[in-house]
Structure 1
Amino acid sequence: MTYRMVNGKVETPEGCEINVAYHCNLGCASCSHLSPAFRRSLAEPETIARDLALLARSFRAQFVKVLGGEPLLHPRLVEILHSIRAAGIAPRVLVCTNGLLLPRMGEDFWAAVDEVEISVYPGRELPEEARARILGHAEDHGVTLTVNHYSHFRYSYSEHGTDDEQLIRRIHATCQIAHVWRCHTVYEGHFFTCPQSVFIPQIIGDPQDIRADGLRITDDPGFAERLLAHLRSPQPLRACRNCMGSAGRRMPHQQRTRRDFRIPQQHTTEELADRRFLALLETVPDADDGCASAESAPLLPSPSLRKRS
């Protein structure tokens, strides 16, 4: 299924994303959202509510994914979850987290969410008692748990980038983030094809407007058509000059401090590219990126307990 226009609204087969906390309680090497490089920074709930209510007039998704950084660091997260549901932009609300703070979350959190995706990294696993408590909350509230185990990352961006237009086009065309997973991001009144086009300019100090790759969300009659054209555009984004898309070289998982997070990326795009995987993506767009250490699977509560959207 591709993007389509239905009753004046653009429909996507996937979702859209809201980053509510740009910093994180971990420092994963090559974090695709560059979270270890951010100081404490939180999204304003009022801005999120306004943007999604406006976007909902022209856009329909299957779900809204709330992430970061680490979204559980936001002190008003439950309020944000309620505002997402009230916007009516999608039938399901998901939270993507590293899970370390989940044992502290109250009943109001579990009542406000439909699905929780937990990314587990080596050496950061929760103890068995905490996992059992989380599963119990999920079952009580009909929340689907999906646990993904990662042992590797791929370089997500290059500090020096590239001027090779052909390489930029290849990386953009094969980007699973933009074209397979469709991680479309709503940020401060704008709609972005991917989160990297929001975060890369802020970290590498690019003088261009950080909203240059985004489409301003408006309520005029022509917005839905502009949004559809934006999503279907084959043109690389400005951020693609520094983004590795899905074609970065693979690296073992490791934790880094804020001070040294950017050091491994001090290379050109050409140096950080996995040419073999890039070629594979050109023929197999949804090829496995080799970062998961074990098969990921949803842990589903019984049908009678599942939350109704």
Structure 2
Amino acid sequence: MTYHIENGKVVTPEGCELNVAHHCNLGCASCSHLSPVFKRSFIEPDTAQRDLHLLARSFRAQFVKVLGGEPLLHRELVPILRSVRTSGIAPRIIVCTNGVLLPRMGEEFWAAVDEVEISVYPGRELPAEKMARVRQFAEEHGVTLTLLHYTHFRYSYSEFGTRDDRLVQRIYDTCQIAHIWRCHTLFEGYFFKCPQSVFIPQVLEGGPDMWRDGLRITDDPGFAERLLAYLQDPTPLGACRNCLGSAGLRMPHEQRTRRDFRTPQRHTTEELADRDFLALLDGTPDADDGCAVDTPEEWRARLRETAGATAARADTTANTVKGS
């Protein structure tokens, strides 16, 4: 299903994202929103309300994802959720969280959402008793609870980028974030095709102009047509020169500090791109990226496999050093 205009509004088959906090209480390696790099930063509720209501005049989504960073860090999250609802931009509200703070959320939060999506990371999963309490809250309020168990991440960007225009185009064309999942992002009065085009320029010194990658939201009669043209434009964004889209090399999940988060990305795009997966995406745009599994059993099995492979590499390295 593609974008189309209906009753003067651009309709997307997917959703729209609102990042309410840039920072996070975790430091996941290669976080695609670069949250470990950002200091404490929240969206103002008035800004969210203004932008949501203005965009809703020309855009309709199937859902709005409220995320970050870690959205549950925002003390005024409930008023923002209410603004999403009253804007009428979408019939469904999804909050995406790592779940660590979820047991603290009160009745007002659970009454304001339709779905809570928890990204479960190794060593950061909720204890059984707290998870049982979360499930109870969700059931009492008719909230769908979705758990995504992550074992791996893919490198999300390159500090040095690439000068290869063909590679940039290929990364853009196969980007699941922009074209399959359609993680379109609302930020400071602008509409962006993806969150990476918002966050990468804020981190890289001398990087691309963030605002040139977005579209200023207005209420004039021609905005819906401009928005549709923007979404259908085949030209890569400025951020694509450093972004790896969906094609970064896969690595086991780990936690990093603000100080060392950027170090692994200090390579060129050519060094960090997974050429085999990129070739797969060329023919299978919705190919599984191998980062998350559906069940806890699969999750634990893959973690054991990863730990075993890591230990084997360490033994090989030690024997090589010893033999030399």
TM-score band w.r.t. shorter chain: over 0.9
| Maintained 8 Å contact 1:171/1:245 | yes
| Maintained 8 Å contact 1:152/1:293 | no
Amino acid at match of 2:247: A
Identity %: 74
SS of residue matched to 1:108: helix
SS of residue matched to 1:212: helix
Summarize deviations over 1:242-273 as a string: whole Å, max 9, x none. Answer: 00000000000000000100000000000000
Quote the residue 1:251 is aligned against: 251
Tell me the TM-score normalized by structure 2.
0.90
Does residue 70 in structure 1 map to residue 70 in structure 2? yes
**TM-fit CA distance, 1:206:** 3.0
Quote the residue 2:199 is aligned against: 199
Summarize deviations over 1:158-196 as a string: whole Å, max 9, x none. Answer: 000001000000000000000000000000000000000
| Maintained 8 Å contact 1:162/1:168 | yes
**TM-fit CA distance, 1:293:** 4.0
Quote the residue 2:236 is aligned against: 236
Pairs within 5 Å for 1:4-23: 4-23=4-23
Q: Distance in 2 between matches of 1:255 and 1:71?
A: 19
Amino acid at match of 1:8: G
Quote the residue 1:95 is aligned against: 95
Pairs within 5 Å for 1:1-309: 1-206=1-206, 208-295=208-295
Q: Distance in 1 between matches of 2:288 and 2:154?
A: 12
Tell me the TM-score normalized by structure 1.
0.95
Quote the residue 1:299 is aligned against: none
Q: Distance in 2 between matches of 1:293 and 1:8?
A: 39
| Maintained 8 Å contact 2:208/2:239 | no
Summarize deviations over 1:218-245 as a string: whole Å, max 9, x none. Answer: 0001000000000011100000000000
Q: CA RMSD in A?
A: 0.9
Amino acid at match of 1:239: A
Relative contact order higher in (CA < 8 Å, ≥ 6 apart): 1
Q: Distance in 2 between matches of 1:276 and 1:203?
A: 28
Summarize deviations over 1:18-45 as a string: whole Å, max 9, x none. Answer: 0000000000000000000001011111
**TM-fit CA distance, 1:82:** 0.2
| Maintained 8 Å contact 1:150/1:294 | no
Amino acid at match of 1:107: E
Amino acid at match of 1:281: L
SS of residue matched to 1:103: helix
SS of residue matched to 1:288: coil
Amino acid at match of 1:211: W
Question: Given the superposition, is the C-alpha separation of residues 291 and 260 from structure 1 closer, same or farther in structure 2, using an over 3 Å criterion?
Answer: same
**TM-fit CA distance, 1:208:** 4.2
| Maintained 8 Å contact 2:121/2:150 | yes
Q: Distance in 2 between matches of 1:189 and 1:135?
A: 36
Q: Distance in 1 between matches of 2:43 and 2:143?
A: 25
| Maintained 8 Å contact 1:177/1:194 | yes
Q: Distance in 1 between matches of 2:219 and 2:244?
A: 34
Q: Distance in 1 between matches of 2:247 and 2:124?
A: 26
**TM-fit CA distance, 1:294:** 4.1
**TM-fit CA distance, 1:295:** 4.1
SS of residue matched to 1:17: strand
Q: Distance in 2 between matches of 1:264 and 1:158?
A: 9
Q: Greater CA radius of gyration, 1 or 2?
A: 2
**TM-fit CA distance, 1:212:** 1.4
Amino acid at match of 2:164: D
